[in-house]
Amino acid sequence: MSEAAQKRTPLYDEHVRLGAKIVPFAGWLMPVQYTSIVEEHQAVRNSVGIFDISHMGQLIVDGPGAREWLNTMLTNNIDKLAVGTGQYTFLLNERGGIIDDLIAYRIGDERFLLVVNASRTDEDLNWLKEHLRGGEVKIDNRSKDFGGVAIQGPRIVDLFTDLPARNHIVDRTIDGTPITIARTGYTGEDGVEVFFRAADAETFWKLMLERGAKPCGLGAR
């Protein structure tokens, strides 16, 4: 795929403004580093770093029977999720092979947010739609309208007040910007993943930089 055909996240202009080295990744133009990979790695280990994860897919599963149906599609037990919690899980094909790994968040009694890998979003969506039963459960691909960041590191507590518990997800408003914040991540450090409207991406990103988060790229991740 040519660079011109690669998609850009809502934060692309911010990455360019900060001098990031941009590379193609899973069909997207993403920052691989801003300063140095080692420096950004150390920021996450010792302080706090922020990663653009807007390229990842965000699917909403909603409707009567959504919980029961998802429990037939994913490997972990959705029934163990209280409203406002999430779990790491797998989407499997008919032979038991892995289509994708993802996080499923229960954001309502019969409403779920699935955060899936960028390169698998379309395949995941198609697979799920092919296996819908009846018309009560609906799937909405909100990926193009929403962005996301992962903010990771031991100083995460300095950036937010009233953080959710581990693997919990809550809605908040920060400086007038509505966000959904989950105490999840993949770096081995404490941290959060935050989702917001694409139109609010730059505002939220700049706020986190002002509070001390260091921009980090794919190399450090």
Domain ranges of the chain: 3-54+145-215, 57-143
**pTM summary value:** 0.95
CATH superfamily of 57-143: Aminomethyltransferase beta-barrel domains (3.30.70.1400)
Do β-strands 85-92 and 146-152 pair in parallel, antiparallel, or remain unpaired?
Answer: unpaired
- Cα distances (angstroms) measured from residue 216 to each of 107, 148, 161, 203: 28, 14, 23, 17
pLDDT digits (tens, 9 = 90+) for 124-154: 999 999 999 888 999 999 999 999 999 999 9
pLDDT grade, residue 2 (50/70/90)? low
pLDDT digits (tens, 9 = 90+) for 92-107: 999 999 999 999 999 9
CATH 3.50.40.10 fits 3-54+145-215, yes or no: no
Using the CB atoms, write b or e for 104-141: b if 16+ within 10 Å. Answer: bbbbeebbbbbbbbbebbebbbebbeeeeeeeebebeb
